[in-house]
Amino acid sequence: MGKQARAIVDLSLKELVRDLNKAYADEWLAYYLYWYMAQMVSGRAYEDIKEMLEKIAKDELEHATELADLIVKLGDAPLANPMELEKNANNAYLMPPKNTADINRIIRIVAEAEAGAIEVYSKLAKKTFGKDHVTYQLVTHILSEEVDHEEIFENLLER
């Protein structure tokens, strides 16, 4: 991002990058959690859940990539040390269930993670609205995907 592009950001760049890095950490934790549960899930109908977890894990990794790209554009760097991810995340890491066949528990964990993500991006959208158009556009794009994710899993719970 050039000088003028940064100059039109009507927010503290330092604070903005800190917020984006926190969301970046959330995305890696979500990716890891979903990917892990996709490998471990067992029991009846495990194949459907595995496929869904893998698909959504991919979306979370894409979100991490989009956030990293924006942080770099803003002249900064995403967290370099994976040990920093949990410490910097907005939400604590949700441990996958020990019982890998407990599909309802898996779905509840994902639904909770998605609800956390929706809150984070909704706050970021309010914070950047009219102040940083580029970040606003990215966070609302990610927000709309988190809304879809929550719905997919909530629908599974209601069945």
Nearer to Fe ion, 5 or 145 (CB): 145
Q: What is the DSSP letter of 42?
A: -
What's the angle, vertex CA 41, arms to CA 36 and CA 51, rounded to 5?
Answer: 80
End-to-end CA distance of the chain: 47
**Helix runs in 12-102, H state only:** 13-40, 46-73, 84-88
Map tokens 């910097």 to a residue. Answer: 88
Task: Give residues 71-130 in contact with Fe ion (rule: CB under 5 A).
Answer: 114
Q: How far is the CB of 89 from Fe ion (least distance, A)?
A: 12
Nearer to Fe ion, 19 or 60 (CB): 60
- Kindly indicate which of the ranges 1-9, 10-18, 63-71, 81-89 contains the residues binding Fe ion, using the contact rule CB under 5 A: 63-71
Contacting residue, 31, 53, 63, 139, with Fe ion by CB under 5 A: 63
The footprint of Fe ion (CB under 5 A) covers 27, 60, 63, 114, 146, 149
